[in-house]
Amino acid sequence: MTHRIAFPDSFLWGAATAAYQIEGAFDADGKGESVWDRFCATPGTILDGSTGEVACDHYHRWEQDLDLMQALGLTAYRFSMAWTRVLPTGSGRVNLAGLDFYDRLVDGLLQRGIRPFVTLNHWDTPQALHDAGGWPARRTAEAFVEYTDVVSQRLGDRVKDWITHNEPWCVAFLGHYLGIHAPGVRDLASAARSVHHLLLSHGWAVPVLRRNSPGARVGITLNPAEVVAASPSQADLWATNLEDGIRNRLFLDPLYHRGYPVDVIEHMMEREQVAFDYVEAGDMDAIAVSTDFLGVNYYSRTIARADNTVDNLPPVITAEENEHTEMGWEVYAPGLYNLLCRLHFDYRPASMIITENGASYSDAPDAVGRVADARRTSYIRDYLAEARRAMDAGVPLDGYFVWSFLDNFEWSFGYQQRFGIVWVDYETQQRLPKDSALWYRDVIANNGFDTA
Ligand code: GCO
């Protein structure tokens, strides 16, 4: 007995990418250096020693990629802009060749009936700004507003869906505390300051977007976690609350007008003597500016256990008995339902959009040139079913973007992980839709699917 999973006619069906992960052309046509260019050039940072210098060469192949998106029937495409293509040093001189690239890209999407969702910053912050203090410094937030103004003045008449930042938690904690992402800093105070200035830059940027892009929908994308305790022990419950605090409430509470969570602030002040002397009058009201949607990136459940707490982050363990993707992430679709419901009932975003969800599996083309990635199709199908279940529970979910449109540069994993619904042969730059892309095409055409 099959069961029909159907979505509203207005539901957005998209795919997502990020500039540094697909564009390549890292120094073409006046583009400046980003922290990821510098990080990749630092020995030992990337698993296979690779870089995003070429990636999927999307900068030169964007028209064929848009044709493929159209062939798959995507109704929306989430991409990020490389800040240093537009402002090579992060502020000041505008590189018109870079702005022109995104102008052509947006027009190409609109001509193909695909709605552009623009992420302004997806981690590739200008190196020149990092050298001048980076996200720990307030002036970087000011530079982000300048960048937002330049971009939205040029594109605001055609782009009507804007995401200020992608996963500020990753920038702050992976990039400034654990140091496993660019810029490779390992300092909790720098991470805490980065949290504030990332959120502040978001708050300052929203009114600029509204001014330059009348009628636009504006939001931010977070990677919130559904955190569960490994056991009901006091220690594990404490670890769970701390993980929820640092991963979720440290961002969601200020964005939804509750200020910073006191338990997390006290933890940071006590454990690492972080002084929150950089929060200025008016900052918290700016951060809490009204937005139109919350972007949610979600892949896997977070299980917190106290006895292997590393530094300040109670790192997570996993349920070994369940299936895992090749990233080592547990496949647990009900976690998406649980997370979306929690976000809805605790924070009440006007709208939510799944701006990333997908799976890394290395299924490759077979002898007849087919990529039979059944595990990825199964993953997407099961997570979509849970998203639909959350909608039935009242969650205002308006869209889904699969991560990712193309196999691409997976940050510190280099090219060792493949998240795309389209295979990329990095030697020839040939693209090949996988079975999951063909399945997704049919889901879009039918606005739903049948499940056993
Ligand atoms: C993220 C980033 C993406 C990743 C994807 C797989 O969510 O970490 O937005 O750039 O590539 O999530 O790790």
Let me know if 243 is a catalytic residue.
no
pTM of the model: 0.97
* Cβ(78)–Cβ(167) below 8 Å: no
Predicted pLDDT at 168? 98
Report the SS3 class of residue 333: coil
Residue of 46, 297, 299, 417 with the most ligand 1 atoms within 8 Å of its CB, for mutation: 297
Residues 170-209 pLDDT 10s: 999 999 999 999 999 999 999 999 999 999 999 999 999 9
Average pLDDT of 44-69? 98
Name which of 44-48, 265-269, 360-364 the model is least confident about: 265-269
Report the SS3 class of residue 167: coil
Give the position, in ligand 1's atom list, of the atom nearest the Cα of 122: 9
Asked whether 167 lines ligand 1 (CB < 6 A), one says: yes
Residue 313: pLDDT band by 50, 70, 90 thresholds? low
Residue 326 Cα to ligand 1 middle (Å): 14
pLDDT over 90 (residue 1): no
Residue 163: pLDDT band by 50, 70, 90 thresholds? very high
Average pLDDT of 148-155? 98
Beta strands in 176-309 (DSSP E): 217-222, 227-229, 293-297, 302-304
Give me the amino acid identity at 315.
P
- Taking the CA atoms of 441, 442, 446 and 451 in sequence, report the sign of the dihedral they define: negative
Report strand pairing: 161-166 vs 397-403.
Answer: unpaired
pLDDT over 80 (residue 311): no
Residue 306: pLDDT band by 50, 70, 90 thresholds? confident
Asked whether 34 lines ligand 1 (CB < 6 A), one says: no
Q: 23, 33, 226, 356: which one is catalytic?
A: 356
Place of tokens 């939001």: 219
215/157 Cα distance (integer angstroms): 9
Beta strands in 88-148 (DSSP E): 115-121
Residue 39 Cα to ligand 1 middle (Å): 17
Closest by alpha carbon to 338, among 237, 224, 219, 452? 224
Predicted pLDDT at 312? 53
Burial of 226 (0-12, 13-18, 19+ CB in 10 A): buried
284/259 Cα distance (integer angstroms): 6
99/37 Cα distance (integer angstroms): 19
Cis amide bond preceding 183, omega within 30: yes
- Taking the CA atoms of 429, 431, 432 and 435 in sequence, report the sign of the dihedral they define: positive
Predicted pLDDT at 305? 87
56's torsion region: left (phi>0), alpha (psi -120 to 50) or beta? alpha
Cis amide bond preceding 404, omega within 30: yes
Phi then psi for residue 210, to 5 deg, are -65, -35
- Mean pLDDT of all residues belonging to the chain: 96
Neighbours of 340 (CB within 10 A): 26
Asked whether 297 lines ligand 1 (CB < 6 A), one says: yes
Place of tokens 């790192």: 315
Average pLDDT of 92-109? 98
Residues 333-349 pLDDT 10s: 999 999 999 999 999 99
Predicted pLDDT at 309? 53
pLDDT over 90 (residue 121): yes
Give me the amino acid identity at 54.
V
28/241 Cα distance (integer angstroms): 46
Asked whether 356 lines ligand 1 (CB < 6 A), one says: yes
Average pLDDT of 52-76? 98
* Residue partners of 136: CB distance under 8 A and separation at least 6: 176, 189, 190, 193, 194, 197
* Angle between the N-to-C axes of helices 96-111 and 138-155, in degrees from 0 to 180, rounded to the nearest 10: 50
414/320 Cα distance (integer angstroms): 25
Average pLDDT of 357-377? 98
Asked whether 65 lines ligand 1 (CB < 6 A), one says: no
Let me know if 266 is a catalytic residue.
no
Residues 258-281 pLDDT 10s: 999 999 999 888 877 788 889 999
Name which of 83-92, 213-222, 301-310, 341-350 the model is least confident about: 301-310
